[in-house]
Each structure stands twice: as structure tokens, then as C-alpha cells.
């Protein structure tokens, strides 16, 4: 039976100092529009109908580079959220951070207004790789940003780290990881560089290590992280303290999305339907829609619930209970029993009582496993 899930909030801040050649996110170089923060609040006002008496469990401010935001704008935004929403007692509020934008005083203010988690886009501690990736910070700036964030009172910090970079060896990859571990973050996102469509790297592909070397980087990196207490709980996420926001995505929870190009996923208990929402991608179009008071949530009913659930939850190392599938989709687990048996026969899934979990092979061939449910 369909049950209303936990609710999170995603906020998109589309501006950045420089568009990285690998980035396919909705990010834009250029002057930050001063009315964007007030537009976010008006956007939220239009989506309050989706709250349905729930407290907000987590907030993620992503981009772009949200750390370009002034302390005054961040305070205005957080106060606007607090006036309109109930936060859970242990709400997790994350801001994405570019080390090249770090200012100790500003981040002390971010902490004081309620932001309690940072996700720092380091990508590499090797200056030549940072140049290759088009990053605006140096290795020293990345280290100093994390140390200063800890001094400012942040005790929950994620470090984003890439592997499979130009000319990178397995040893270089492990050295990068060791430098990240030495900084004592609570969470490390360790993921492979992929050449996404419509990026500079897809147009002019760099020479990357062979698939065999990249696979070895992933395997040895995962072993090192687990050995150092960073337990893998999702494809690229390692932590003894998993992100509440990440977990809500992967367990098919609900989230409101505000900002240019922001996505949302909403369970409507009155109609027993699950919908996706999408805001205009262009910041100019988005701001114009807000100014003209147009309905900007483009809503689409989800018609492939079992696949969408599996697309998310099969990323979890520990898998999920069949009861979660039923409560989050409103479907019986029997509706996908034949696909589950097929995946089990192919040694892609382990089934124990009502618990469904990818095997090591299933995790290595995750796309193939997920496609079984398409």
C-alpha cells in the first residue's frame, strides 16, 4: 500500500566562476542575478501544496557554485525556508562548496544560520589534474578550505574526488584518496570521470586510462576507504555517517525542487499518484516565469514506478526490504517477481526472506541489472 515518504528539499543555484569541461549540470558563467534568492522563495510558495504536513528531513543547496552566495543572501534564504516549512529536529542542510570561493568569515556565518554540512568539490589534490579538469582552485586551497571549514565549526564534511583522470595511475589515485582521508572528512564521494554529452570533454575527448586501470582504481580505492572506516553505502558514496539527503533519493523518498532546472518527486496521497516536477532550465526564463507569476512546475505523472524505484534503490550496497518497494510505489512486490527471479538466476541479485540486495556481480553490472526492470 502506498504510504507518504519522508520529504527533502533541493535548491539549485546555477551560477559558477567557470564552466568545467566535464560538467553537464545546469551551471552558467556570468553575473549573478540579484533577484534570484527572492525568486527561490516565491518558487517555494508555489510548491508548498506538496509538503502535506511533513517536516523537511534534509536540504541540499547545489549548483553551479552555491558558495558564491553572500552570507546575507544565504541568511535571507534560510529564514524564508524556516518561515514556510517545519524542519525535523536533526535536519541536514548541505551546501556545495568550491574551494576557490572559500572565505573563513563567510563560512562561519553560513554555519551560524543553520547550514551544518558541506560538500567540497575537490576532485583531485594534484595541481596538474585540477588544471586538466578546469578547476579554479589549487591543491593547497582545497586543503586550506577544508581545514578552515572545520575551524568554523563544520563537523559534517563531504569531499568529492574523481578517478580515471588524464594520465592518472593507480598509485596517483590512491595518493589522492589518502590525502582526502588525512583531512578527516565524515564522507567521501569517490567516482569515475565520465564523458557526458554536451560537454567540452565529449566534443574534444581527453586520453583517459584504460578500462582495466580504471577498474583497478575503483577496486583498490573502495578497499582503502572501507579499511579506513569509510563504509560504502551507495555506488560512489563512502561514510560511517551516510548523508540523509542521499539516502532519501536512493530509497525513493520525496523531494521538492526549487530553482532553475530543479527536479522534484512528489507523492500525492489524495490522488495516490507519484509525479515528477521540473522548473525552467534557463535562469532568465526561470526568473521571468517567477516575475510573471506563471505556474512554473511542469508536472509529469510517473508511469514506470517499478523501474524508477529500482533505478534508485539498487544503488544501495545493503539493498532494500520488499516492504519499502510496496510503500514507496503502491505496487505489490509480486508485480516484479519475474524480473527479480531473472536477476537472481543471472547472479545479479541476492534474495533473503523479503530482503533484496545486489550481488558483487550485480553491482559491477548495475546498468544491466536495472534494465531488467525497464
Quickly list DSSP for 319-354: -EEHHHHHHHHS--GGGGHHHHHHHHHTTSEEEETT
Q: From 249, 277, 295, give the residue that closes a domain.
A: 249
Cis peptide before 358 (omega within 30 of 0): no
Is residue 283 situated within a structural domain?
A: no
In sequence order, the β-bridge partners of residue 58 are 8, 92
**Virtual torsion, Cα 199, 200, 201, 204, nearest 10 deg:** 130
For residue 54, give Cα distances in angstroms to 84, 85, 244: 12, 9, 16
Is residue 260 situated within a structural domain?
A: no
Task: Kindly tell me the burial class for residue 90, based on how many C-beta atoms sit within 10 Å of its own C-beta (0-12, 13-18, 19 or more).
Answer: exposed
- Neighbouring residues of 11: CB distance < 8 A, sequence distance ≥ 6: 40, 59, 60, 61, 62, 66, 77, 258, 259, 262
Is residue 366 situated within a structural domain?
A: yes
Do 239 and 171 have their domain in common?
yes
At 297 the pLDDT is 67
CATH code of the domain covering residue 133? 3.20.20.70
Separation between Cα atoms, residue 355 and residue 97, nearest integer Å: 37
Separation between Cα atoms, residue 252 and residue 327, nearest integer Å: 10
Phi, psi of 114 (to 5 degrees): 120, -10
Do 163 and 20 have their domain in common?
yes
Is residue 127 situated within a structural domain?
A: yes
Per-residue pLDDT of the chain (374 residues; tens, 9 = 90+): 899 999 999 999 999 888 888 887 888 887 777 799 999 999 999 999 999 999 999 999 999 899 999 999 999 999 999 999 999 999 999 999 999 888 888 999 999 999 999 999 999 999 999 999 988 999 999 999 999 999 999 999 999 999 999 999 999 999 999 999 999 999 999 999 998 888 888 888 888 999 999 999 999 999 999 999 999 999 999 998 899 999 999 999 999 999 999 999 999 988 889 999 999 999 999 999 998 877 666 778 778 999 999 999 999 999 999 999 999 999 999 999 999 999 999 999 999 989 999 999 988 899 999 999 98
Do 25 and 158 have their domain in common?
yes
User: Is the dihedral angle over the CA atoms 58, 136, 111, 234 positive or is it negative?
Assistant: positive
Do 245 and 322 have their domain in common?
no
In sequence order, the β-bridge partners of residue 158 are 119, 187
CATH code of the domain covering residue 343? 1.10.10.10
- Domain encompassing residue 143: 7-249
Inter-residue contact 158 to 117 (CB < 8 Å): yes
The residue among 287, 272, 298, 328 whose CA lies nearest residue 47 is 298
In sequence order, the β-bridge partners of residue 149 are none
Inter-residue contact 191 to 163 (CB < 8 Å): yes
The length of the chain is 374
Is residue 257 situated within a structural domain?
A: no
* List of E strands, 262-335: 263-268, 273-278, 298-301, 320-321
Phi, psi of 117 (to 5 degrees): -150, 140
Do 74 and 173 have their domain in common?
yes
Q: From 211, 231, 249, give the residue that closes a domain.
A: 249
At 131 the pLDDT is 92
Inter-residue contact 373 to 354 (CB < 8 Å): no
The residue among 253, 221, 256 whose CA lies nearest residue 235 is 221
Do 309 and 215 have their domain in common?
no
At 28 the pLDDT is 81
Is residue 294 situated within a structural domain?
A: no
Is residue 203 situated within a structural domain?
A: yes
Is residue 209 situated within a structural domain?
A: yes
- pTM of structure: 0.95
**Virtual torsion, Cα 49, 34, 113, 145, nearest 10 deg:** 120
Neighbours of 310 (CB within 10 A): 26
Do 67 and 141 have their domain in common?
yes
Do 230 and 312 have their domain in common?
no
Q: Count of H helices and E strands in the chain?
A: 15, 17
Separation between Cα atoms, residue 19 and residue 25, nearest integer Å: 9
Q: From 208, 225, 249, give the residue that closes a domain.
A: 249
Domain count, the chain: 2
Amino acid at each position: 500500500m502506498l504510504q507518504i515518504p519522508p520529504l527533502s528539499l533541493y535548491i539549485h543555484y546555477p551560477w559558477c566562476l567557470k564552466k568545467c569541461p566535464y560538467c553537464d549540470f545546469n551551471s552558467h558563467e556570468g553575473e549573478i542575478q540579484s533577484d534570484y534568492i527572492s525568486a527561490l522563495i516565491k518558487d517555494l510558495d508555489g510548491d508548498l501544496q506538496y509538503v502535506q504536513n511533513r517536516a523537511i528531513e534534509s536540504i541540499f543547496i547545489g549548483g553551479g557554485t552555491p558558495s558564491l552566495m553572500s552570507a546575507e543572501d544565504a541568511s535571507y534564504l534560510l529564514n524564508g525556508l524556516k518561515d514556510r516549512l517545519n524542519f525535523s529536529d536533526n535536519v541536514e542542510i548541505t551546501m556545495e562548496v568550491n574551494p576557490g570561493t572559500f572565505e573563513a568569515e563567510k563560512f562561519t556565518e553560513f554555519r551560524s544560520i543553520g547550514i551544518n554540512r558541506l560538500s567540497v568539490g575537490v576532485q583531485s589534490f594534484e595541481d596538474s589534474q585540477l588544471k586538466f579538469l578546469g578547476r579554479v582552485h589549487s591543491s593547497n586551497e582545497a586543503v586550506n578550505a577544508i581545514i578552515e571549514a572545520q575551524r568554523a565549526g563544520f563537523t559534517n564534511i563531504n569531499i568529492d574526488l574523481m578517478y580515471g583522470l588524464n594520465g592518472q595511475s593507480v598509485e596517483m589515485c590512491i595518493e589522492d584518496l589518502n590525502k582526502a582521508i588525512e583531512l578527516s572528512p565524515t564522507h567521501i564521494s569517490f567516482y569515475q570521470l565520465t564523458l557526458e554529452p554536451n560537454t567540452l570533454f565529449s566534443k574534444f575527448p581527453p586520453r583517459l586510462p584504460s578500462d582495466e586501470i580504471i577498474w583497478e582504481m575503483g577496486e583498490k580505492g573502495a578497499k582503502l576507504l572501507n579499511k579506513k572506516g569509510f563504509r560504502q553505502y551507495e555506488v560512489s558514496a563512502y561514510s560511517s555517517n551516510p548523508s540523509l539527503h542521499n539516502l532519501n533519493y536512493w530509497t525513493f523518498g520525496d523531494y521538492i525542487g526549487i530553482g532553475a532546472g530543479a527536479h522534484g518527486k512528489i507523492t500525492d496521497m489524495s490522488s495516490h499518484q507519484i509525479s515528477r516536477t521540473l522548473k525552467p532550465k534557463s535562469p532568465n526564463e526561470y526568473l521571468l516565469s517567477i516575475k510573471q507569476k506563471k505556474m512554473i512546475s511542469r508536472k509529469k505523472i510517473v508511469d514506470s514506478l517499478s523501474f524508477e524505484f529500482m533505478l534508485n534503490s539498487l544503488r544501495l550496497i545493503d539493498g532494500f526490504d520488499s516492504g519499502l518497494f510496496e510503500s514507496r510505489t503502491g505496487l505489490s512486490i509480486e508485480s516484479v517477481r519475474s524480473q527479480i527471479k531473472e536477476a537472481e538466476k543471472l547472479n545479479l541479485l541476492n534474495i533473503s526472506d523479503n530482503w533484496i540486495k545486489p550481488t558483487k556481480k550485480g553491482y559491477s553490472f548495475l546498468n544491466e541489472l536495472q534494465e531488467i526492470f525497464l
